[in-house]
Amino acid sequence: MRAQQKSAWRMAVLSTCLSAAIMVAMDGSVPAAQAASSDISANIAPTATATASSEDTADGSLASKAIDRIVDGYPNGGDDKEWSLVSGRTGWIRLTFPAPVAIDHVVLHDRINLTDQVTGSNLTFSAGASVQAGSLPNNGRGKTVAFSTRSVSWVQLNIAAGRASTYANGLAEFEVWGTTTATSASAGSGVPADNLPGWRQTFVEDFTRNAPLGSFGSIYGQDWRGYSGFGDTNGNGQYAPDKVLSVSGGILDYYLHTENGQHLVATAIPMGYDGQTYGRYSIRFRSDNIDGYKIAFLLWPSSDNWNEGEIDWPEGDLAGVMSPASALKGSMTPQGMRFDPPTRAYSATDSTGWHVATTEWTRGLVRWLWDGVEVGRTTIPTGVPTTPMRWTLQAETSTPQPSASSAGHLQVDWVTAYALR
């Protein structure tokens, strides 16, 4: 799962920093926005008003902090990232929407500290039967509570019990999932060309400028071209962007192949080496079946300090199923990093067809989507990276290494990135 050799990163940084022209938001070649609108599933809780039976105003643990999109709190990231009762195990929090919304599940995150824990709860609604929510994972891992779709103006969590050590119950975060209409967002297969609920689009590339082999760096920028002239993670491939990367017909093409006994690979860096903290990253791509090659698209610490974490998605052999993972911030040992979630998840389909893979990285939570459907999410809020990371589209050799005759194309239709509003 480890995606890079330290020495490789050092060389990459040294070779590109001096000439780094930071890719600014919204590349000038953005095509006209699609006129289409579409219904998408989203966490709409932040559009609500939160009220509660009590809230700890002295510590800033307000009801509104349960819908600030941050899964954090005492003692990790501060009391002002969570909602807490003034004291006690029982109470309620209600989210009231400005207009009725159709919802079908919530995701509840307990306060992340291990002293306070909700052990009994239920949901009530402005319309429709109540739903048991039970106990919540003590560390703040999200608990999904699904129910039949209902149109409501408010939803309320009623906390009925807490573990014995509880001083004050509450929530790190209260997600409410429903459909919302987003103009020109992810409609069909076209490149998204607008903001999404809760997200501000900061980068988009649809590959509308042709770039023959050898010219990708001069046309799209040296940062985009990525590393050159040294070995890939397992040492069997060599980064040779000028023999691998080209653009035609609106598609970025990775031609993975062997020349003179050398397996040739490439890594594209869409947004430059500085990266950003938190974000939503989508890529539409497909691949031929190419034995011995894989992709590891990932977010990597801008500092190159692996101990800050690593977020991989999609990762897998070409063109197999894809799997996500997040290295736990601060988990470095001589054996490497620990990864979350503890159980591997996989995409529902392989990558021979066109698919959209999305990473959604917020404070305390990473979610991974395949064609808009959640494949997995992190389970340890305190392990989620909190420092800037760069988006890295890495194609490399796998194990066992390719034969000299193995060759094929990895194609990228578009990429886009967003920042938290």
**Residues at the contact surface with Ca ion, assessed by CB under 5 A:** 65, 68, 70, 81, 110-111, 117, 138, 173, 206-207, 250, 413-414
Q: Copy the structure tokens of residue 198.
A: 């809760």
* CB nearer Ca ion, residue 237 or residue 279: 279
Quick one: 19 or 49, whose CB is closer to Ca ion?
49
Which tokens sit at 27?
A: 């590349």
**In whole angstroms, what is the distance from residue 265 CA to residue 397 CA?**
7
Residue 342 tokens, joined: 């503890």
CA distance 144 to 157: 13
C-alpha span between 162 and 89 (Å, rounded): 5
What is the smallest separation between the CB atom of 163 and Ca ion, expressed in angstroms?
A: 8
Give the shortest CB-263-to-Ca ion separation in angstroms: 27
**CB 245, min distance to Ca ion, A:** 15
DSSP string over 243-271: HHEEEETTEEEEEEEEETTEEEEEEE-TT
Choose between 61 and 258: whose C-beta lies nearer to Ca ion: 61
What distance lies between CA 196 and its chain's CA centroid? 14
Give Cα 84 distance to the centre of its chain: 27
Rounded Cα distance between 219 and 411, Å, is: 18
Q: Distance between CA atoms of 364 and 383, rounded to whole angstroms?
A: 7
CB of 327 vs Ca ion, minimal distance in Å? 23
| Residue 263 or 355 having the CB closest to Ca ion | 355
Q: Given the complex with Ca ion, which of 249 and 336 has the nearer CB atom?
A: 249
Please state, in angstroms and rounded to a whole number, the distance separating the CA atoms of residues 49 and 195.
22
Nearer of residues 152 and 247 to Ca ion, judged by Cβ = 247
Q: Alpha helices of 129-231 — where are they, by DSSP H? A: 216-220, 222-225
C-beta closer to Ca ion: residue 350 or 413: 413
Choose between 109 and 243: whose C-beta lies nearer to Ca ion.
109
Nearer to Ca ion by C-beta: 224 or 414? 414
Contact between 184 and 10 under an 8 Å Cβ cutoff? The reply is: no
* Residue 395 burial class via C-beta count within 10 angstroms: exposed 0-12, middle 13-18, buried 19 and up: buried
Task: Please state the closest distance from residue 411 (CB atom) to Ca ion, in A.
Answer: 9
Question: What residues contact residue 321 under an 8 Å CB cut-off, 6+ apart?
Answer: 346, 347, 348, 349, 350, 351
* Shortest Cβ 88–Ca ion spacing (Å): 15
What is the maximum alpha-carbon separation in the chain? 72
Please say which residue, 68 or 232, places its beta carbon nearer to Ca ion.
Answer: 68
Residue 75 main-chain phi, psi, to 5 deg: -100, 10
Q: Are 213 and 245 in contact (CB under 8 A)?
A: yes
272: which DSSP letter?
Answer: -
Minimum distance from CB of 137 to Ca ion (Å)? Answer: 8
The distance of closest approach from Cβ of residue 155 to Ca ion in the complex, given in angstroms and rounded to an integer, is 17
- In the bound complex, what is the minimum distance in angstroms from residue 11's beta carbon to Ca ion? 31
For the bound state, the minimum distance from the C-beta of residue 113 to Ca ion, rounded and expressed in Å, comes to 5
Question: Nearest residue to Ca ion, using CB?
Answer: 250
* Tally of CB atoms within 10 A around 365: 26
